Amino acid sequence: MFTYLNPDIRQQLIDTGKLLRIDRDGTPVNGETTMLADAAAPRADATAPRADEGVINLLGPIPLPLKMGGQSYQADWYAAVRSAELQKVEELAATLRESGGQNRFATLATSMAVNSVLLIGDAGNADNPLVRVHSNCLTGDVFGSERCECGPQLESALGRISNDPDGGMIVYMAGHEGRGIGLWAKAATYLLQDAGENTYQANQSLGLPTDSRDFTDAAALILFFLGDRPMRLLTNNPKKIEDLSAAGLTQMTIEKHVVGVSKWNKRYLSAKQSWGHKIGDSDIAK
């Protein structure tokens, strides 16, 4: 595993506690070096489920000064990826080395979704930290699109958590573009929406789930950093609440997180409202 890292650096990161693995319950996995070697070894039955299928590899902390919306913040960044995803990179790297395709190593990045944790303040010791599980949205988070409220939600969460006495964390889910359908399909749904469908109907027209996101990794990361303690979750999404609760987070207080309403996304927010999101008529009327 981690073949794109120099093995000496990889071992150094393990020895210094900067690279570790946690299971679905957020518990550190023992025998790190041995398990990495076992994971990289060929398997007799490649179709059989991996023993470490749900194990998450965690790299950090990395001090990260942030500036968003004209405000400066400080966070500790952790990168997180499933062992199964890293195994795909291992196999692709071996193929590229054998074929002499060194110039194609950039394709390694397309094989795995690397989630992020931004830990802010002393959240691990706080009585009631703020938590935001944020699905990545290139158009909203990066381009500043007003077709959704994702960018303002991320910016608001960062500000609220940084200014809160208890601090908290943001879990940024990299594989969640378009509620899990990916950027290419999301672009198609935008064209369908412009033709009259709402965001959920557009997914269905493409033969895709209305929401295929998986929040189990987010729950494992929260359990690792905070444990199952009282926390305040910034969300309007009942599916997120249900998934995190089912994964072991039992002491969440839900705080509404409606920001970024504009004339461009009111129809989108209305569709979310009809799908059960905790968005009131007065919220959309802003």
Distance, in Å, from the CA atom of 107 to the CA atom of 92, rounded to the nearest integer, reads 9
Least confident segment among 23-37, 147-161, 186-200: 23-37
Distance, in Å, from the CA atom of 73 to the CA atom of 71, rounded to the nearest integer, reads 7
Q: Is the pLDDT of residue 66 over 50?
A: yes
Least confident segment among 32-46, 66-80, 182-196, 249-263: 32-46
Distance, in Å, from the CA atom of 8 to the CA atom of 285, rounded to the nearest integer, reads 57
Q: Greatest CA separation found in the chain?
A: 61
Higher pLDDT, 31 or 268: 268
7-176+213-284 fold:
Rossmann fold (3.40.50)
Domain ranges within the chain, ordered by starting residue: 7-176+213-284
State both tokens at 73.
């913040």
Mean pLDDT of 56-78: 95
Q: Tell me which residue has tokens 């709402």.
A: 198
Active site residues: 211, 213
Q: Is the pLDDT of residue 24 over 80?
A: yes
pTM for the model: 0.85
Q: How confident is the model at residue 256 (pLDDT cuts 50, 70, 90)?
A: very high
Residue 213 phi, psi (nearest 5): -70, 150
